Amino acid sequence: MVKNSFISVITQEEKEENSGSVEFQVFHFTSKIRRLTSHLELHKRDFLSQRGLRIILGKRQRLLTYLSNKNKVRYKKLMDQLNIREPKTR
């Protein structure tokens, strides 16, 4: 298994205090996405992991849409902090 090279930007105290916040949930989904992506680079035919990755991507996208509608400043800060691209608009 590949070691997770994603370094936590949230401290342990913040994890305990704000585990339900949108920012923490997006951070958690992002770390899962990066871990699954590195797994799928080694195991290209693992279709269940691909399905799980798509599900997590959708959940993160819904949370980011919610955050962008509620508070643009927090949304921009989170996008910069986690190095996530802006979604394409239709």
Query: Which alpha helices (DSSP H) does 5-90 contain, by range?
Result: 12-17, 22-42, 47-70, 72-82
**What is the pLDDT, as a whole number, of residue 2?**
47
Q: Note down the domain range covering 29.
A: 23-80
Question: Is the residue at 86 inside a domain?
Answer: no
pTM of the model: 0.80
Question: Is the residue at 87 inside a domain?
Answer: no
pLDDT tens string 37-90: 999 999 999 999 999 999 999 999 999 999 999 999 999 999 999 999 888 777
pLDDT tens string 5-48: 555 555 666 666 788 999 999 999 999 999 999 999 999 999 99
Question: Is the residue at 17 inside a domain?
Answer: no
Question: Cα separation of 13 and 31, whole Å?
Answer: 18
Q: What is the CATH number of the domain that holds 61?
A: 1.10.287.10
Give the number of domains in the chain.
1
**What is the pLDDT, as a whole number, of residue 7?**
52
Question: Cα separation of 80 and 33, whole Å?
Answer: 17
| Cβ 87 vs Cβ 64: under 8 Å | yes
Q: How far apart are the first and last CA of the chain?
A: 38
Q: Contacts for 76-81 with beta carbons within 8 Å, 24 or more apart?
A: 78/23, 78/26, 78/27, 81/9
